[in-house]
Chains A and B, each alone.
Chain A
């Protein structure tokens, strides 16, 4: 699935555009807690969240997510969008609720990004 497909499926507004909207999205995850993003989400993942503060951008950048989708029509502040832009992180906004947005993407074939038991510590 491409980022442009996500925009279409979620009837989303593009708040920060990607350099290439045809960038491939291979997995998605949903979380409203920063630590959950860090614990359960793989790199190159699309994050669906109801959190709209700058910390979500910092965390997303840190674990190299592909982009952020704000659900329930939540509008982040300008500082959030500016930070996302400076870090090259595309940001979308959908009026859909979290459950529905996840369901639509899942039905369209986009699967979960949750890391397995050993994904972050498979060095052992």
Chain B
């Protein structure tokens, strides 16, 4: 099934801006919906996008989210300038969080962000450097025409 040859979107995300939090993910979701992708795939991509966006808002100063849809996959990239992830292995554990008490009171910092992304993505790659920032790439493959 060929969905779209290419569709690029880039969105800016402001760190610590909880008022507009989720807007980038919502826009990514709407874009994927207009491309008539399977609802389950849109849902998985939306969850990944939301968790990635919230990580930028919770932890970083600023960041960008990018979406690229090609005929075989959806790629979401979240890139931020921020503290980086000191211990990536621990960050991948369900329930591990470095978010502050204040953030937790808002309902975030469950320590499920990266594990949720890993669960919903076909491929998750994370590059991070302490005190510089983090780049997260999420790949979700589109169903093949035979499938």
Contacts and interface: CB of A to CB of B under 8 A. Distances in A.
A17 interface: no
B51 A38 contact: yes
Contact of A33 (B29, B41, B108, B122): B108
Given A55-B22, A62-B25, A43 B107 contact: no
A53 B106 CA distance: 7
A63 B43 contact: yes
- B interface, how many residues as a size bin? 20 to 34
A61 B50 CA distance: 11
Contacts of B120: 120-121
A62 B47 CA distance: 8
B31 to A, nearest CB: 13
A55 B115 CA distance: 20
B113 to A, nearest CB: 6
A35 B116 contact: yes
Contacts of A63: 43, 46-47
Interface in B68-125: 106-113, 115-116, 119-120, 122
24 contacts: A32-B107, A34-B110, A35-B108, A35-B112, A36-B112, A38-B112, A39-B119, A43-B39, A43-B43, A53-B106, A53-B107, A54-B19, A54-B21, A55-B18, A55-B108, A56-B107, A58-B50, A62-B25, A62-B46, A62-B47, A62-B50, A63-B46, A121-B44, A121-B119
